[in-house]
Chain A
Amino acid sequence: MKRSLTLAMLLALSFAPMARAATEADYKAAYAAAEAASKEAAGMRNQWTTTVSTLAAAKKAGDGGDFDRAVAAAKEAEALAKASVFQATSEKETWKAMEIR
């Protein structure tokens, strides 16, 4: 019983994703993706202040060599930017629902 439990734990651990620290390359890739989404939002005249501040936080962490934090912030900034693009796209028509007629 004890032996099979140890085996099961070993098996589980072998399939678990390897947790590793983010590298500078990870940060650069995540930042580039966030920056592209942010530029798209700005082009639609619908940038969110939180995208700008989160992107700035990613850069600050990246410049300081804290790539784990930098990647997390960049991914958050990308998600915010994509949400603002979605908002601008859907509002092209849905604004009419609010109109006083």
Chain B
Amino acid sequence: MMKARTALLLGSLSAALVAFALTSPRVVAADKVDPVADAKAFQNFFFQKFPNVKHEDFVNGPYSMNEDMKRQWQEKEEFPPYEFALDAGKEMFATPFKNGKTYADCFPNGGIGIRQNYPYFDTGEGKVVTLELALNRCREANGEAPYSYVKDEMASLTAYMAFTSRGKAMDIRIPDDRRALEAFENGKRYFYTRRGQMNFSCASCHVQSPGERIRAEVLAPALGILNALPIYRSEWSGMGTTSRRFITCNSQTRAVPLEPQADEYRDVEYFLSYVANGLPISGPGARP
């Protein structure tokens, strides 16, 4: 009897040790920053959660989740509400600054068809540079006042630039630089961190509940959510930039938004764009 008890105890102990030995390396590995593995897991999560949604369709947000809304949107796309912004952006893009230069002088390939490469990590500055930030830097470098990050002019410019990249696969790079990995990790942390009196994280809506209704809205999946930006939102009766999208999300959870282009926003844009690599740019978009 005593021997049996000892054997049972020893057996349980060895099983526990084996289980510990098997799980601990995974815990250590999971704590390492591995953007490739993160992106794969992120995409697989959505592909498995919504097996009937075509992969390239995730970039269409709520329309990928709801057939009725999708039909309405497809009809709306014949005369899209962002068209005015698109035309204005095209004109603004081609209009020279007072010094005679244009936006095209600030960007690779004259700024055409490059949206899918933004944001990028600037190894010189050691920070993430978004398209909106690059546009304002271009203005300032040419003696022009920067635009508001949340208003029409910035939305028009980015709408035009996104349009020239439509269909191109998101292609965000993470250079072999500790600071770039930190930026990615910080963005990830921001995305999953609960904030505001509602105690919501970005993931509470866009990972846990895409396709569900929040009042009259259908929540968009996080996968490819930035590929459609900037967007015309009927709720806003106007265009909105990525900055505006983040700021509004924060306010809706009763969190005081950060300043536009704060490091945290730049990093979360980097994270969300990287995990959407391979999915097409669909901006400018239209949302309810």
Contact = CB atoms under 8 A, between A and B. Distances in A.
Nearest to A48: B197
Contacts of B196: 48-49
Contacts of B193: 91, 95
B189 interface: yes
B255 A46 contact: yes
Contacts of A42: 256
B233 to A, nearest CB: 20
B264 A99 contact: no
Contact of B203 (A47, A80, A94, A98): A98
Interface string B203-216: 11001100000000
Contact of B194 (A52, A91, A101): A91
A49 B204 CA distance: 19
A46 B42 CA distance: 26
B139 interface: no
Contacts of A84: 197
A48 B41 contact: no
B17 interface: no
Interface string B198-231: 0101011001100000000000000000000000
Interface residues of A, number: 21
Contacts of A48: 196-197, 254-256
Contacts of B194: 87, 91, 94-95, 98
B49 to A, nearest CB: 10
B258 A45 contact: yes
A49 B199 contact: no
Contacts of A80: 197
Nearest to A94: B194
A87 B253 CA distance: 13
Interface string A76-101: 00001001100110010011101111
Interface of B: 30, 38, 41-42, 45, 188-189, 192-197, 199, 201, 203-204, 207-208, 251, 254-256, 258, 264
8 contacts: A42-B256, A46-B255, A80-B197, A95-B189, A95-B193, A95-B194, A99-B188, A100-B38
